[in-house]
């Protein structure tokens, strides 16, 4: 019961972040489902992706109503992303997760600094 309530609150928070910042919210949903709702990692990832489907659709529709969606570019990004996802699944089998997390953190830090610098 607590896990359910927690998952719902988590969904709401991730949704607000999604609408605010244009992300799906998976970056929060996956680790928090594992840490606090005791989901196995793969179930957490699958649940996250299915939940993102809801957030992304709802948020994209409201952004589109405000004229903030460039549809052609979205398709140009989304379609190769599907190919990238298949490649990512392969890489996942071969590369140490520790290095990927490290690289990802460095990328985020660099972007954060760049945005701060304006």
Partner 1 sequence: MRYLVIGLIAGVFSALFGVGGGIVVVPLLILVAHFSERPAMGTSLAAIGLIALVGAVSYAFHGELKPGAAAVVGLPAAVGAVLGTGLQQRIQARTLSLGFAALLAGIAIWLLV
Residues numbered 49 to 108 that lie near partner 1 (CB under 8 A) are 49-60, 62-64, 66, 68-71, 73-89, 91-92, 100-102, 104-108
Binder to partner 1 among 2, 96, 99, 114 (CB under 8 A)? 114
| Nearest Cα to Cα of residue 48 among 11, 19, 77 | 11
Asked if 29 contacts 14 with a C-beta cutoff of 8 angstroms, the reply is yes
CB of 8 to partner 1, least distance (A): 5
CB of 43 to partner 1, least distance (A): 6
Is 1 a binding residue for partner 1 by CB under 8 A? The answer is no
DSSP-H helix ranges across the chain: 2-21, 26-36, 41-65, 71-94, 97-117
Is 43 a binding residue for partner 1 by CB under 8 A? The answer is yes
CA 115 from chain centre, in angstroms, equals 20
Site for partner 1 in 3-32 (CB under 8 A): 4, 7-27, 29-30
Residues composing the chain: 118
Is 36 a binding residue for partner 1 by CB under 8 A? The answer is no
Q: What is the C-alpha to C-alpha distance for residues 47 and 44, in angstroms, rounded to an integer? A: 5
């Amino acid at each position: 019961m607590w896990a359910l309530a927690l998952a719902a609150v988590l969904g709401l928070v991730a949704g607000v972040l999604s609408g605010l910042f244009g992300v799906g919210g998976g970056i929060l949903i996956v680790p928090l489902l594992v840490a606090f709702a005791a989901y196995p990692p793969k179930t957490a990832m699958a649940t996250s992706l299915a939940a993102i489907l809801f957030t992304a659709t709802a948020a994209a529709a409201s952004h589109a109503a405000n004229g903030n969606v460039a549809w052609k570019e979205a398709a140009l990004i989304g379609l190769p992303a599907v190919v990238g996802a298949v490649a990512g699944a392969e890489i996942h089998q071969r590369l140490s997760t520790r290095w990927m997390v490290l690289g990802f953190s460095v990328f985020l830090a660099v972007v954060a600094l760049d945005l701060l610098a304006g």
